[in-house]
Structure 1
Amino acid sequence: MATIHAESKAVRGPDLPATITPALLGRLAALVAAAPGAERTTTTAPYTGLPLAGLPVSTPDDVDEAFARARVAQRGWAATPVRERKRILLRYHDLVLARRNEVLDLMQAENGKTRRDAFLEVVDIGIVSRYYARTAEKYLRPKRRRGAIPLLTRTTELRHPKGVVTVVSPWNYPLSMAASDTVAALMAGNAVVQKPDTQTALTALWSMDLLREAGLPEDVWQMVIGRGSSIGGALMDNADYMMFTGSTATGRHIAADAGRRLIGASLELGGKNPMIVLDDADIDKAAAGAVAACFPSAGQLCVSVERLYVPESLRDDFIAAFVARTRELAIGGAYDYSMDVGSLTTPAQLATVTDHVNDAVAKGATVLAGGRPRPDLGPLFHEPTILTDVTPDMTLHSHETFGPVVSVHTYRDDEEAIALANATPYGLNASVWSRSGARGRAVAARVHAGTVNVNEAFAAAWGSVDAPMGGMGDSGLGRRHGADGILKYIEPQTVAHQRLQGFTPPPGISPETWATLLTGSIKLLKAIGAR
């Protein structure tokens, strides 16, 4: 097993697992919505840099045709009873768990993450699928609402599906981001046309194939492959709702286009997430928490921590514990559970990480652990890296690195720690560590982030799927999980049935007298505590 202490030497990347056969790759590629004879693109395996799979590339016309089929299928799907949708989703839940090794192999092959990190995506989809299967009926059933005139106005809120939802999912969490938003949209009665990132499209296609096996009608969930510059316009122009996970820069464009079309959009975007270690924290637990917060999926996680704030009184002890734990991490490629940190996914991401670290070091940052790529382990590996003496003129001080790099800063008191944590336009996730749960929660409530974890990195909030998850500020709009995660995919409709008497005067009563009577009725309702 290669670790970050190993002598530098060329290490051949692991062979593909036996589950990834030409037959499997061909079957998944055939699921892409593309015309026969379409242009093809080839993905590469991050562990080795060798070709992995050839996939057909969809054109704007292919996207239009996918939406046309989806609209026809959606009408039948919306008419399918929620209890039948529930049965299909629970069957999917069982299939994902039963065949987890297949998708773990795929995720590792095309993303480069460790098996430990990939397994958390399987857990995530199991939890989310079960949650929406068993709560959708409650969220979607008609709701009686208080009428305008007590006893005389019967008001009901109906919840209709949007229609066909576009889901654009990223490469870093290819199962979680491909499926968790999609299953909520499907349970709400929508069809989905999805564009996964090409690099990790195999995992998304596997997930779609499995849900079809569980009973989902074929055209209700379709997948297109291609660059946003080519098919992004068709995806937006056809959508009844847009779900996007990706960069803030792209999210701004999508928000503008959605505004132009007057459709809704949910956007989970970038982050520069902080972790605050309070002065009463258990140092060993906080150091272990920092490792779990900063380096999963080689730091390619929207909710991972890139800024770490420690009180001056604990600086030396905390850094010693954090550095020691980081240097013990095993980094490398293996299709088993032996590695702690895997590969970055693309050459572009390795270049970003390397440039950020080199820029910081050139401007005076100190490297306490890591700090360099590891081409001896594979083309895209980079050591888990801890920096201090990071200043605002360094790129990684304020800009998202999206890699296994964290900067450690000190503070004097809680007020300064909170101010430093909030000194960013982003607001996705944060972590607070304290021996006192009450104190930790009080600090957490003042951090500007959509989710804040106390004595945990991110999994507590992420796994609490009954609660909303999403970003503030430049980290996005909308939420996934909980009621918000499914109700964003519905159109509420109010049906109000007025009986016997409305707001116009009945025969024989003058408008002035009627106004006096209505005024008295409104005052009475306030006096008796009516809402």
Structure 2
Amino acid sequence: MAIYEPIESSDSRRHLQLRSPVTLEPTGELICANAEDVADAIALARRAQPAWAATPIRERAKVAERALQLVLERQDEIIDTVVAETGKARADAMSMEIYSVADSLCYYAKHAEEFLKPRKRRVPGIMGIAKQLHIRYKPLGVVGLITPWNGPFVLVMNQAVQALLAGNAVVAKGSEVTPYSAKLAETILRDAGLPEGVLQVLLGDGETGAAIVRGGVDKVSFTGSVATGRKVAEACASQLIPCTLELGGNDAMIVCADADLDRAADGAWLGSCMNTGHYCCGTERIYVVASVYDEFLRLVLEKGRQVRQGNQHGWAEDVGAVFWDRQLAIIEAHVEDARARGATIHQGGRRNPDLHGLYYEPTVMTDVDNTMDIMNHETFGPILCIQKVADEEEALRLANDSEFGLNGNVWTRDKDKGLRLAAAIDTGSCSINDMALSYGIPTAPFGGRKQSGVGQVNGKKGMRGYCHEMPIVVDRFGGKMPNAYPNSAESAEGMRKLMDFLWRKTPLGKWLA
């Protein structure tokens, strides 16, 4: 039974029947914004943006500070909405949708002025005697933001607050799987004092998102699948507007011979099953050095017997429901392909027979290899795929044998070795002795390599990415321009002598640089 399905309507908008992934019961009707609605929203954003851009950054930051307090005050409402739409464990909702949002709002409110203040930069070379360089960070205008269903509140809030504090207006769309969790971002920020039209979160489906991308915005920030990300990139390229794309992953975990195996086994479970495995930086491939493989597997299976699933556990639930029936079908197909190709299923490997909704049992499998879909493609589910390797170099080679490159993690007691291996993994970021954390650290620029994305978000770089970094060159002294017309052979000879003096006869040019 589908989590959403079209229903007949008497107007020009698409209507979808929504269902709970926990009970499969109907939860309401979604009316999707159409192309006209999107055009109206972008027009409103265009009208609202200049006044918002003219608002001092300190005043913009105060909106984020008030939003932080509202998130804390209304956290139960936010968690209830997210859990109702996704079926995720309440602890996952708390950590991803409340703590991460609060941390992000606090960080950007504190540092926005520092990141965006006008700057002077020294002009190198002899030109620096006569010229000054000023840098201004100017908002791009209206930003289109498209976010997925796995972090429906946090992914809108985190990107929107960066774009908003940079002085932009934002027209956003969350997933049709989780529309009302995304809509909460607009409610919170409006209640915090954000002017009308500066952030609009539209309810809709893929057609709504396509209308935003094609609607005349000044940048698109997209998080989602590789296939849709490629379409977004093509649309942005045809309009000559920038985009950032955070796409899929198939992250590798390397367990070295000197790893703390107990901690690594905990990290394998958390990295693979947090958020029901619906985590772009989730661990999907685990490579374990042969000398510690048996003990690591023993610990993983021992810990797996304690994992709890089902909302009857309340706050003690570890692994929630699969959020979307289409994702469940992918999980099942990947597991069955691996089973048919010789993988050994030690735990799970099926829908949970004791639960009514979209629950897939936390699964441990071994005897996996790169002939299997589950090792080549993004499964996005609560699956631990463990492969024995001869040594760390083989683990590194297999980790890099992927079309994806979002994140990874290395487990060793030797910090220098950990840093060497982490730097050698061809991914956007990496963690040592922990699951993938970089997205949750606001100072860390976040983005993928290869099929995992284009550009980076978060931190100073992410906020400035919502601006045009404008250089302004100022002449210091005035007077007659030394290179004014007319040109002459004498002036050309003078330029040759100057270059020879700067970079051949003396070290002055290098010193001035």
Q: Match of 2:441?
A: 464
Q: Match of 2:511?
A: 529
Q: Match of 2:267?
A: 289
Instruction: Tell whether the 8 Å contact from 2:247 to 2:452 is kept in structure 1 after alignment.
Output: yes
TM-fit CA distance, 1:275: 0.3
Tell me the distance in 2 between the aligned counterparts of 1:335 and 1:318: 28
TM-fit CA distance, 1:505: 5.8
Q: Match of 2:79?
A: 104
TM-fit CA distance, 1:527: 5.0
Is 2:163 aligned against 1:179?
A: no
Q: Helix, strand or coil: the match of 1:450?
A: coil
Q: Match of 1:514?
A: 494
Is 2:39 aligned against 1:61?
A: no
Tell me the distance in 2 between the aligned counterparts of 1:150 and 1:394: 59
Tell me the distance in 2 between the aligned counterparts of 1:164 and 1:521: 49
Q: Helix, strand or coil: the match of 1:205?
A: helix
Query: Measured at CA, do residues 508 and 470 of structure 1 come closer, stay the same or move farther in structure 2, by a change above 3 Å?
Result: closer
Is 2:125 aligned against 1:125?
A: no
Q: Match of 1:474?
A: 451
Tell me the distance in 2 between the aligned counterparts of 1:312 and 1:111: 38
Structure 2 counterparts to residues 124-273 of structure 1, below 5 A: 124-147=100-123, 149-229=127-207, 231-273=209-251
Deviations 1:475-512 (A, max 9, x none): 00111211121111101222112243545069999414
Query: Measured at CA, do residues 521 and 142 of structure 1 come closer, stay the same or move farther in structure 2, by a change above 3 Å?
Result: farther
Tell me the distance in 2 between the aligned counterparts of 1:363 and 1:36: 50
Is 2:382 aligned against 1:382?
A: no
Query: Measured at CA, do residues 508 and 51 of structure 1 come closer, stay the same or move farther in structure 2, by a change above 3 Å?
Result: closer
Tell me the distance in 2 between the aligned counterparts of 1:485 and 1:505: 41
Q: Helix, strand or coil: the match of 1:493?
A: strand
Q: Helix, strand or coil: the match of 2:314?
A: coil
Tell me the distance in 2 between the aligned counterparts of 1:353 and 1:423: 21
Letter in 2 for 1:358: E
Tell me the distance in 2 between the aligned counterparts of 1:502 and 1:136: 39
Is 2:95 aligned against 1:116?
A: no
Letter in 1 for 2:47: V
Is 2:31 aligned against 1:49?
A: no
Is 2:295 aligned against 1:317?
A: yes
Tell me the distance in 1 between the aligned counterparts of 2:227 and 2:473: 43
Structure 2 counterparts to residues 296-335 of structure 1, below 5 A: 296-334=274-312
Tell me the distance in 2 between the aligned counterparts of 1:502 and 1:519: 19
Q: Helix, strand or coil: the match of 1:158?
A: strand
Q: Match of 1:22?
A: none
Tell me the distance in 1 between the aligned counterparts of 2:202 and 2:482: 53
Q: Match of 1:372?
A: 350
Is 2:469 aligned against 1:487?
A: no
Instruction: Tell whether the 8 Å contact from 1:140 to 1:159 is kept in structure 2 after alignment.
Output: yes
- Which of 398, 406, 419 is the aligned partner of 1:441? 419
- The farther-off stretch of 146-155 and 178-187 is 146-155
Structure 2 counterparts to residues 346-361 of structure 1, below 5 A: 346-361=324-339
TM-fit CA distance, 1:234: 4.3
Tell me the distance in 2 between the aligned counterparts of 1:465 and 1:330: 31
Query: Measured at CA, do residues 519 and 37 of structure 1 come closer, stay the same or move farther in structure 2, by a change above 3 Å?
Result: closer
Tell me the distance in 1 between the aligned counterparts of 2:260 and 2:415: 12
Query: Measured at CA, do residues 413 and 40 of structure 1 come closer, stay the same or move farther in structure 2, by a change above 3 Å?
Result: same
TM-fit CA distance, 1:363: 2.0
Instruction: Tell whether the 8 Å contact from 1:108 to 1:115 is kept in structure 2 after alignment.
Output: yes
Letter in 1 for 2:288: V
Tell me the distance in 2 between the aligned counterparts of 1:358 and 1:502: 75
Letter in 1 for 2:76: N
Is 2:483 aligned against 1:504?
A: yes
Instruction: Tell whether the 8 Å contact from 2:171 to 2:212 is kept in structure 1 after alignment.
Output: no
Q: Match of 2:62?
A: 87
TM-fit CA distance, 1:197: 0.2
Tell me the distance in 2 between the aligned counterparts of 1:432 and 1:333: 32
Letter in 2 for 1:106: T
Tell me the TM-score normalized by structure 2. 0.92
Query: Measured at CA, do residues 223 and 36 of structure 1 come closer, stay the same or move farther in structure 2, by a change above 3 Å?
Result: farther
TM-fit CA distance, 1:522: 3.6
TM-fit CA distance, 1:209: 0.4
Deviations 1:431-458 (A, max 9, x none): 1101122221111111111111100001
Q: Helix, strand or coil: the match of 2:511?
A: coil
Tell me the distance in 1 between the aligned counterparts of 2:244 and 2:486: 51
Q: Helix, strand or coil: the match of 1:296?
A: helix
Q: Helix, strand or coil: the match of 2:311?
A: coil
Tell me the distance in 2 between the aligned counterparts of 1:371 and 1:298: 14
**Equivalent pairs, count:** 496
Structure 2: stretches of 5+ with no match in the other structure: 1-9
TM-fit CA distance, 1:463: 2.8
Instruction: Tell whether the 8 Å contact from 1:59 to 1:231 is kept in structure 2 after alignment.
Output: no
Tell me the distance in 1 between the aligned counterparts of 2:459 and 2:511: 31
Tell me the distance in 2 between the aligned counterparts of 1:299 and 1:245: 16
Tell me the distance in 2 between the aligned counterparts of 1:281 and 1:42: 49
Structure 1: stretches of 5+ with no match in the other structure: 1-34
Tell me the distance in 2 between the aligned counterparts of 1:488 and 1:526: 36
Q: Helix, strand or coil: the match of 1:529?
A: helix
Deviations 1:191-217 (A, max 9, x none): 000111011111111121011010101
Letter in 2 for 1:504: N
Instruction: Tell whether the 8 Å contact from 2:268 to 2:384 is kept in structure 1 after alignment.
Output: no
Is 2:317 aligned against 1:342?
A: no
TM-fit CA distance, 1:224: 1.8
Q: Helix, strand or coil: the match of 1:451?
A: coil
Deviations 1:278-319 (A, max 9, x none): 000111111111111110111111011010000111111110
Q: Match of 1:275?
A: 253
Q: CA RMSD in A?
A: 2.1
- The farther-off stretch of 503-512 and 412-421 is 503-512
Instruction: Tell whether the 8 Å contact from 2:338 to 2:373 is kept in structure 1 after alignment.
Output: yes
Deviations 1:359-409 (A, max 9, x none): 211221110111110143122000111111123332212011111112111
Q: Helix, strand or coil: the match of 1:295?
A: helix
Tell me the distance in 2 between the aligned counterparts of 1:364 and 1:71: 57
